[in-house]
Every structure is written in structure tokens, then in C-alpha cells.
Amino acid sequence: MNYLVIKAHRSEFPNPISFKKGALIIVGEKYDGPEDWEDWYYCTIPGHESGWVPRQIIERTEGDAGQALEDYTAMELDVDEGDVLTGARILNGWVWCRHAAASIEGWVPLENLQPVSE
């Protein structure tokens, strides 16, 4: 699906959390904000950056422990109004996108995008 950026987005996280499938994760607080972004948890990988992770890729094990069900990065894409992106996956109000002109990928809030015909 192609998207037109209707509102610019800038990441507030210059060093996003990233991990491989099977990584052990400490699962923290659930996101609770004014946006409609359900099922995001603030997670930590011991010795690495912390960040927001979608529930769908966390297998809860015991207490606040979990394991990654797939490779993941919380890399957000900086975009400007008018940019055209290709979306690959939608999770909890965010879209994993590729910026064709810049050849980069990352998450963008769905509310900042408008679907366009291919």
C-alpha cells in the first residue's frame, strides 16, 4: 500500500531499541496516551536501549519477562508532508514504511498518512 504523508513526523528516539528473534526482553509499562496506539509496551534489553515494542511480537514468559517472537526495531522514519511511502505492515496505529526517494525504512504513525492508489 502506498501512502501520502499528510502530517510531518520526527522521531524522538535517536537510538531505538532493536533485537533479534529469541531475545530476552524485560516488559515494562503499557503505553497510555491520548493517541489511539493500543498494545505498545516499554521494553528493555539488558545492556541496550529501551523502547516501545508492540505486544504482537512479545511472548510473555514469567512476570515482567518476555521473549521476542521476531526480529524488531523501533526505528521511526522522519517524514515531511507530501512524501510518498510504501507501507509494509500496520501494527497498533503505526505503519512500517519505506521512503523510496531516500531508501530508508521505519515506523510512521498511521494518522499522519493517507492511502493513495498505486
Per-residue pLDDT tens digits for 70-82: 999 999 999 999 9
Q: How far apart are CA 26 and CA 13, in angstroms?
A: 19
pLDDT at 36 over 80: no
Question: How does 14-51 read in b/e, with b if 16+ C-beta sit within 10 Å?
Answer: eebbebeeebebebeeeeeeeeebeebbebbbeeeebb
SS3 content of the chain, % helix, strand, coil (to 5): 5, 50, 45
This prediction has a pTM of 0.90
Confidence class for position 47, pLDDT limits 50, 70, 90? confident
Whether 93 and 111 have beta carbons less than 8 Å apart is answered as yes
pLDDT in tens, 52-67: 999 999 999 999 999 9
Res 118: pLDDT: 63
Largest CA distance in the chain: 45
